[in-house]
Structure 1
Amino acid sequence: MRILFIHQNFPGQFRHLAPAMQAAGHSVRALAIQGKGLTGVDMVRHQPNMQPSKTIHPWLAEFETKLIRGTSALQAMLAMKQQGWTPDLVVAHPAWGEAMFIKEVWPQTKVLAFLEFYYSATGRDVGFEPGMQTVNMDMLAQLRLKNMTHMLALECMDHGMAPTHWQRSTFPSAWQDRIDVVFDGINTQVVRPDAKPHMQLQHADGTGHRIQVGDEVLTFVARQLEPYRGYHQFMRALPKIQAQRPQVITLIVGGDGHSYGQAAPQGSSWKNIYLNEVKDQLDLSRIYFLGTLAYENYLKVLQLSACHVYLTYPFVLSWSCVEALSAGCVVVGSRTAPVMEVIEDGHNGVLVDFFDTEALADKASHVLAHPQAYQTLRQHARDTAVSRYDLHTQCLPAQQKLLTSLVS
């Protein structure tokens, strides 16, 4: 069959699925504004050529930007149709607007929507942390309008796919029966425990440490070091962790920009704001900010970890949480809904209240002080990743089966 994948930054979440469908003998194309693409997958790029209006109602500004992207994608799809190419199935990430007009071009084509998150003023990210966001009527109104793109996707899709049960639960109940839960998948044969890795770390002044598996290494990973992923709570717990475990080496992976929520005040970054808040209480010689890493170096960080901290608002679950389990890390995670779906406290990880930095420090310190006591938990963490989230034995077959079922 002919399959079109739509993602603003292809391949995104389709990096395994698209080539797998191609390898299975299907004709696969991708429609995107940007992204590296994939070898063997025909990439159709489109570029919006309209500018947002300066006089539109401010609540509609975000939707107008998405509409402009949708209009650009529409023109690209019409060009495909005029060239005689009609897909049997479109697999689309609708969040940025490109999937708005699929059915207008191809009314008979089946549509599978990849559904990550549906916004709400309660029970999710907004308002989760008092003082971090200004929740007023303007924000609430814009939040409702933020879901318009997803409402259009729900209305026109033939079926949906969400990565976790909790993420599916964020969508209106009337559509949940039409949304399958299939995680993106982790290659657990690549992301696995390994006793061999070591790392030579160096500060700007030339001082540093050489670390290897078995050393007292505390790790924290996020795409960006920002409040949504609990960076500030981790930094606030770090002075006590260092006081209790003075030999610990801390590795912090992530950029200093922002992906979610409010940006830091102009001229600063969340990374520096929360580092400056506690730096006088820290031994900075034992803390390494590694920035963003190549994947193989990131995996090495997980394999070196004696204790890994993963914190998040009630929001989209990070791949890194499951990758940490797959690497056999002892994960100290936040007791928030996305994490609780994956980690059972005391079985395959340790859970703490997102806001309780004292408990976070105590739990992390205990893990660092008693590594042998957590060996069974490490194995359970690994078992969870392999049995529920493995790419090749669990997730990819389920995704392929779902795609095939929609056009059979």
Structure 2
Amino acid sequence: MNILFVHGNYPAQFVHLAKALAADGHRVVFLTGRKDPEVWPLTGVEVRRFELHREVSSEIHPYLIPMEQAVLQGQAVLRVLDVLAQEGFQPRLTFAHGGNGLSLFIRHLFPETRLIAYMEWWFRDETSHWCFPSYEFDQRLRTTMRNSIILQELEQCDVAVTPTSWQQQQFPKHYKDKIKVIFDGVDTSFFCPTPVKGELILNGLKCVQPLHIGENSLLLTYATRGMETLRGFPEFMRMLPPLLEALPNLEVVIAGDDRCVYSQAPDRADGSWKQALLEELGNRLDLGRVHFTGSLMYGEYQQMLNRSDLHVYFTRSYVTSWGLFQAAACGASLMVNRDPATNYVLKGDQAYWVDLDDPQHLVDCATKVLKSAPERRKNIKQSYLKSEWALGNCIASWVELINAQLKV
């Protein structure tokens, strides 16, 4: 059977499903806008790339910028699919990442394909305001228009999938039956409680030389795709001076990139929250004990989670990061802020819950937990991940959905 995946990134949320379907002997073609997909090869998966033929017009109405971007992406996808069709490729199933226009025109070329849209978010005022420093009336109207693309793709697909019930709740109620909940899956054979003996060695992309964390050091960790307000990066950084002063053997590791993925950059030339916070905190921050590693390879990231004496996950009301699920699977000691985006992931006693808008509470909680770390290390860690989010169960749910679509 011919199966098509379409995503702006690669392999992204489709990594496990694409691998599983290819392993079953199907011809799997993955169409992506990523420029370097070869850095992450998937056995049995054929990769094709699409490129936009031009940028968005500078003369277009500001509210319509995302819509023109979506049309350009839909056209770019269609041009590559037309080549595939001429080669004889006709997909029985198509999985498309929704919300950015990638699947807008697929039906015009492949009317018989069963189109499954992967939908992440529906923009609402009560959550969207966290993405902008100022959510004025004009920005609210722009955000409302952003949903037009999502609506188009929801209408065209045969069925949609979103990873969590929290995300499903964001969409209009009349789409609830069309949007199924299937999580991406955590590989619990990899992300699991694993003792780290001796020193921890990390060699992230931003490490000039390997970072060594001694086994007697206290370790506070934070990991993120982007250092930004939506993921509580400023609040985390502002915690550090009093913690470093109170705990002389504390080391801090911050894994991730100096960029904004979901929320707006600060109003400065470099657009960097990292640099803004370093300047704000100045010499109150002991940079000899605060380590920015950049992105980590999965093996080192898993070791970091297992070695961490306290792993911090902060977020505002938006899509919950994979990182929280992965840390829970490792049984990490977690400090998490109370929010609808986090409350459903962990039970009350599985995290140290904090108020992200109470700076003193953050410091007091972290200090207490870190001081007790040497004693807690004697305990055997257990995974906190719900079984429904384990990879095997998620793939089984995908297979059930696929079989139902093939019977239509």
TM-score normalised over the length of structure 1: 0.90
Residues 1-400 of structure 1 aligned to structure 2 (within 5 Å) = 1-34=1-34, 35-36=37-38, 38-122=42-126, 124=127, 126-128=128-130, 133-197=133-197, 198-200=199-201, 210-212=213-215, 215-264=217-266, 265-346=268-349, 348-371=350-373, 379=381, 382=383, 384-385=384-385, 387-392=387-392, 394-400=393-399
Closer, same or farther in 2 for the Cα pair 1:204/1:40, shift >3 Å?
closer
CA distance in 2, matches of 1:154, 1:278: 46
Q: SS of 2:385's equivalent?
A: helix
Which runs of 5 or more residues in structure 2 are unaligned?
Answer: none
CA distance in 2, matches of 1:25, 1:201: 37
**Deviating runs (4+, > 4 A) in structure 1?**
200-209, 372-380
**RMSD between aligned alpha carbons?**
2.6
Deviation at 1:373, TM superposition (A): 7.2
CA distance in 2, matches of 1:84, 1:208: 51
> 1:239-269, CA deviations, whole angstroms, 9 ceiling, x for partnerless residues?
2323433321111111112211112321251
User: 1:404 corresponds to which letter in structure 2?
Assistant: N
Corresponding position of 1:401: 400
CA distance in 1, matches of 2:217, 2:240: 18
CA distance in 1, matches of 2:395, 2:211: 42
Q: Is the 8 A contact 2:121 2:171 kept in 1?
A: yes
> 1:67-91, CA deviations, whole angstroms, 9 ceiling, x for partnerless residues?
1110121222233333332211111
Q: SS of 1:29's equivalent?
A: strand
Q: Is the 8 A contact 1:233 1:354 kept in 2?
A: yes
Q: Percent identity?
A: 31
CA distance in 1, matches of 2:167, 2:381: 26
Q: SS of 1:284's equivalent?
A: coil
> 1:268-306, CA deviations, whole angstroms, 9 ceiling, x for partnerless residues?
510111122223323332221112222222222112100
TM-score normalised over the length of structure 2: 0.90
> 1:18-73, CA deviations, whole angstroms, 9 ceiling, x for partnerless residues?
11011123222112222345331122222221332222112112211121110121
Greater CA drift, 336-345 or 240-249: 240-249
